Amino acid sequence: MHELQVSGKIIQGQNTVWAVLKGIMQREGPFGLYRGLVSTICREMPGYFVFFGGYEFSRSLLASNGKSKDELGPVSLMISGGCGGCCLWLVIYPLDCIKSRIQVLSITEKQAGFLRTFSSIVKNEGFLALYSGLKPTLIRAFPANAILFLAFEYSRKLMMQQAESY
């Protein structure tokens, strides 16, 4: 919204949630609220499959010395969480790159759609352009997801103990 305001495409007051919602409903009707849903599903479903799959697979590997997965310590849980987060981004990053290009191009009204944007990137910049910027994303994803899963597991254990005490 900031970029649209700076470019003069919208004026102050048109960048609130309600103003955007009202504009979409007036221009496109209720189906306008679902624009981009298919590409979001195509990105999120495989992404979260490998996110949780990578986490559980890492936990299994780290628990292979006779421990159960529930007995893993904080370091093992954090490593597993970091691995899960990295798996997520390795799978969805190209799709996220295409989504970001579409968003930027829509500001200039030159948006070409998902498949055309994908083919344009690959044709003009090569396949590896879809992974441009992956390294800092992985560097951020590992600690963020390590903490996320550590907090999740300890919260889950706490809640299970509370449930058993009732």
Could you give the count of Cα atoms lying within 13 Å of 104 in the half-sphere of its Cβ? 7
pLDDT confidence band for 19 (50 / 70 / 90): confident
- In terms of domains, do 138 and 156 share one? yes
- In terms of domains, do 112 and 134 share one? yes
- In terms of domains, do 45 and 125 share one? yes
Do the Cβ atoms of 10 and 106 come closer than 8 Å? no
Name the residue range of residue 24's domain.
Answer: 1-35
- In terms of domains, do 11 and 90 share one? no
Q: Is the predicted pLDDT of residue 39 greater than 80, yes or no? A: no
- In terms of domains, do 125 and 139 share one? yes
- In terms of domains, do 135 and 69 share one? yes
Q: What length is written for the chain?
A: 166
Which residue from 54, 77, 63, 52 is spatially nearest to 154, judged by alpha carbons?
Answer: 77
- In terms of domains, do 78 and 139 share one? yes
What does pTM read for this prediction?
Answer: 0.76
**Percent of the chain surpassing pLDDT 70:** 87
Buried b (16+ CB within 10 A) or exposed e, 49-69: ebbeebbeebbeebbeeeeeb
- In terms of domains, do 89 and 158 share one? yes
- In terms of domains, do 49 and 15 share one? no
Region 61-90: what's the mean pLDDT? 91
Q: How many domains does the chain have?
A: 2
Mean model confidence pLDDT for the chain = 87
- In terms of domains, do 30 and 42 share one? no
pLDDT at 107: 61
pLDDT digits over 83-141, tens only? 999 999 999 999 988 888 887 776 666 667 888 889 999 999 999 999 999 999 999 99
